[in-house]
């Protein structure tokens, strides 16, 4: 007996009239009668006591109806669970740290959402390292980060392009007109950096340590806006991922003679299958970053 036949059977039991049941089910009366006969033949039970168009449910029919009712309730629960699972594929949690947020979030909320209104985006703005942790713990479906080359075994890194990390100052600073500088020259000044939860700062501290240089870090901030304010008030220079300041007026970026760079990538969890919606989002983000950074620094 199929699930559809079970639903037909319960409708006939409830209405006790083939004509009325057929009308409610939008079936031909002959089709429904044949379906009921097929159930009786399959089960070997006499389910109905017929008197013209009116039928009464036999004792066996009543017992079967009770069992079918219980079974169909379980089927309904199962189908609802499947629908909920399917609906979650239309919701994506995306972690976008600050250095990517100003570029990507307006385009995600405008262009991507207009092109794919069926996909609901839940966007959060953690630090770079925190973004990777959220994906690892499956609290975010994917993250966009500029990472320092280190990897976590259970994460998949979809690399896009690399860009330079540069010394950032104001036009009147003594090093502003230099074609390039060394880490040692940068360390002669008190610096303001992003906090150590950012990949760029982790890269810098590792690079200073490898060169046996102890920089004077005047302040670590978790907010790019704070660093922008300190730079514009000529308080202290900084070292940042170049695209993080590319759109800001009044600041100068100077490359290092031994280039430092971060790699833009999208992070997903290795053990989780990438859904169709995720592939669409990954393709969109990749294209946005490549369009803005068509000539990677090295």
Residue 50 confidence (pLDDT): 77
CB 168, CB 253: distance < 8 Å: yes
Q: Are 240 and 194 in contact (CB under 8 A)?
A: yes
Q: What pLDDT is stored for residue 206 in this prediction? A: 94
User: Number of folded domains in the chain?
Assistant: 2
Q: How far is CA 283 from CA 13, 127, 142, 160, 278, in A?
A: 54, 23, 13, 11, 8
pLDDT score for 86: 56
User: For the segment 95-104, what is each residue's pLDDT rounded down to a tens digit?
Assistant: 998 878 878 8
Measure Cα distances from 128 to 31, 198, 206, 218, 281 in Å: 63, 5, 16, 22, 19
| Domain CATH code at residue 83 | 1.10.10.10
pLDDT digits (tens, 9 = 90+) for 4-58: 899 999 999 999 888 898 899 888 888 988 999 999 999 999 998 877 667 889 9
Do residues 102 and 208 both lie within one domain?
Answer: yes
CA distances for 23 relative to 3, 14, 31, 36, 279, angstroms: 19, 13, 11, 15, 45
Tokens of 188: 């002669």
Domain of 61? 3-88
Instruction: Quote the DSSP letter at residue 236.
Output: -
46 lies in the same domain as 130? no
* Interval 156-178: pLDDT, tens: 999 998 889 999 999 999 999 99
Does 297 reside within a domain?
no
Q: Check pLDDT > 70 for residue 293.
A: no
Last residue of a domain, one of 88, 119, 149: 88
Do 63 and 95 belong to one domain? no
- Residue 199 is part of a domain; what is its CATH number? 3.40.190.290
Asked whether 254 and 174 are in contact (CB, 8 A), the reply is no
Asked if 241 and 200 touch (Cβ cutoff 8 Å), the reply is yes
Helix (H, G, I), strand (E, B) or coil at 147: strand
Give CA–CA dist 163/259, Å, rounded: 10
Torsion sign, CA atoms 286, 291, 295, 298: negative
What is the CA angle 248-253-257, rounded to 5? 160
Question: What are the Cα distances from residue 198, in Å, to 166, 167, 177, 221, 259?
Answer: 15, 16, 28, 10, 19
Does residue 135 sit in the same domain as residue 10?
A: no
CA-to-CA distance for 217 and 103, rounded, in angstroms?
A: 28
Q: Please tell me the distance from the alpha carbon of residue 1 to that of residue 40, in angstroms, as a whole number.
A: 10
DSSP state of 246: T
- Quick one: pLDDT at residue 64? 92
Shared domain check, 129 and 45? no
Environment class of residue 220 by beta-carbon count within 10 Å: exposed (0-12), middle (13-18) or buried (19+)? middle
d(CA 154, CA 93): 18
159 occurs within a structural domain? yes
Mean pLDDT to the nearest integer, 83-88: 58
Q: pLDDT tens, 58-85?
A: 999 999 999 999 999 998 888 777 666 5
Q: Return the SS3 of 76.
A: helix
> Cβ–Cβ contacts within 10 Å for residue 50, how many?
11
Residue 232 shares a structural domain with residue 184: yes
Residue with tokens 């170049």: 242
| Encoded tokens for 93 | 């949690």
């Amino acid at each position: 007996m199929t699930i559809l036949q079970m639903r037909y059977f319960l409708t006939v039991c409830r209405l006790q009239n083939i004509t009325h049941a057929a009308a409610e089910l939008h079936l031909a009366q002959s089709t429904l009668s044949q379906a009921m006969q097929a159930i009786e033949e399959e089960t070997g039970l006499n389910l109905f006591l017929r008197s013209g168009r009116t039928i009464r449910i036999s004792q066996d029919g009543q017992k079967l109806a009770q069992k079918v009712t219980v079974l169909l309730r379980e089927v309904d629960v199962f189908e609802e669970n499947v629908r909920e699972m399917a609906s979650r594929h239309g919701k994506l949690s995306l972690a976008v740290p600050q250095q990517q947020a100003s570029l990507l979030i307006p385009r995600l909320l405008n262009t991507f959402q207009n092109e794919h209104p069926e996909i609901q985006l839940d966007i959060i703005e953690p630090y770079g390292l925190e973004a990777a942790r959220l994906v690892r713990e499956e609290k975010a479906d994917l993250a966009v980060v500029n990472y320092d080359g280190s990897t976590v075994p259970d994460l998949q890194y979809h690399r896009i392009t690399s860009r330079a990390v540069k010394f950032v100052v104001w036009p009147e600073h003594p090093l502003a007109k230099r074609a390039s500088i060394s880490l040692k020259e940068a360390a002669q000044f008190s610096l303001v950096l992003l906090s150590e939860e950012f990949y760029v700062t982790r890269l810098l501290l590792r690079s200073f340590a490898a060169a046996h240089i102890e920089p004077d870090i005047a302040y670590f901030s978790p907010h790019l806006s704070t660093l922008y304010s300190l730079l514009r008030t000529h308080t202290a220079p900084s070292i940042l991922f170049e695209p993080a300041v590319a759109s800001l007026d009044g600041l100068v970026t100077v490359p290092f003679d031994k280039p430092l760079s971060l790699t833009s990538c999208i992070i997903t969890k290795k053990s989780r299958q990438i859904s169709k919606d995720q592939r669409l989002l990954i393709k969109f983000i990749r294209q946005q970053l490549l369009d803005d950074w068509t000539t990677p620094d090295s």
